[in-house]
Amino acid sequence: MAIGDITLSKSARANVLSLSQTANSLNTVQGRLATGKKVNSAMDNATAYFTAKGFLDTANSIQNIKDTLATAIQSLKAATDAISTIDTLIQNAQGLAVKALQSGSDTAATGILGARYDEVMSQIRNVATDATFNGVNLIATAATAALVVNFDPVNANSKLSIDSVDYAGTGTASTSLSGVMGTASTNGWSSAGTLTANIGTDQAKLTAALSMIRSQAAAFGSNSTIISARSDFSANLINTLTVGSDNLTLADMNEEGANATTLQTRQQLGVISLSISGQASQAVLRLFG
């Protein structure tokens, strides 16, 4: 039916237009109440929508970084836990050396203690080999940037490189644990002529090894503290970005609830007003009845 086929009075047409506008406004308010947002698409407010979306995209990228930080912390924890176990094993080896010295010239007894000492050395290497988390082992490879932790999804220079150490190998390099501590007791602690000197040599190596691993544990602990601090910063930044996005898009539910009540009342009044307009037209028709 074409516009104009039905003629409405001026007041009726005004009421219909007002009801249409009220219905549109009520639909908008109900949409805000349903989603909790005053900006649901670019059509609502393009500037606010895309700015808020940019905040959330950045927050999501930082969240991904934060997840990798948690994994890095666990890799460091695996390394420090292993170092703690190695520390205990080295102290065990020190105890064996003391017992061997107390055995005097009894090479049979010291030889047995030397064999036990050698087993402890082997277990130390096994512990280092087993200290793997998520494919990363920070104490079982030659010194290298084994773990690179990125702190920023955009700035590639915002990172921390953590070098690994070699506690699992049997090399003689001064940077490896075996290079400092050795891999077995000197002469098996069974040579009577040099027994005391051999045990004394191994004791000195164990003391140096303890100093080495405790220094490394402190370094890993410092790295873990840095990563934890950056993780906390990332969490705070994610919250800031999310709040910034919410400030641009979230609706005031109290205000929208009041708007809905007002519009519903206006709609009811509009229907009543339209009915009154219709009654006035009917009264005119009755004049010709």
Query: What is the distance between the alpha carbons of residues 86 and 90, in angstroms, rounded to a whole number?
Result: 6
Q: Where are the domains of the chain?
A: 60-248
Query: What is the distance between the alpha carbons of residues 96 and 112, in angstroms, rounded to a whole number?
Result: 10
Angstrom CA distances, 12 to 103, 271, 274, stand at: 116, 10, 6
pLDDT given at position 234: 94
pLDDT given at position 248: 86
Question: pLDDT of 156-193, one tens digit each?
Answer: 899 999 999 999 999 888 889 999 999 999 999 998 88
Question: Which among 23, 19, 14 is positioned nearest to 280, based on CA atoms?
Answer: 14
For 103, left (φ over 0), alpha (ψ -120 to 50), or beta? alpha
Asked if 124 and 167 count as a contact pair (C-beta separation under 8 A), the reply is: yes
String of DSSP letters for 161-192: EEE--BSS-----TTBHHHHH-SS-GGGG--G
Q: Which regions in the chain score pLDDT beneath 70?
A: 1-20, 22-36, 143-145, 251-253, 255-256, 259-260, 263, 266-267, 269-289
Q: The domain 60-248 is classified under which CATH number: 3.10.105.10, 1.20.1330.10, 3.40.109.10, 3.30.300.280? A: 1.20.1330.10
Stated pTM of the model: 0.76
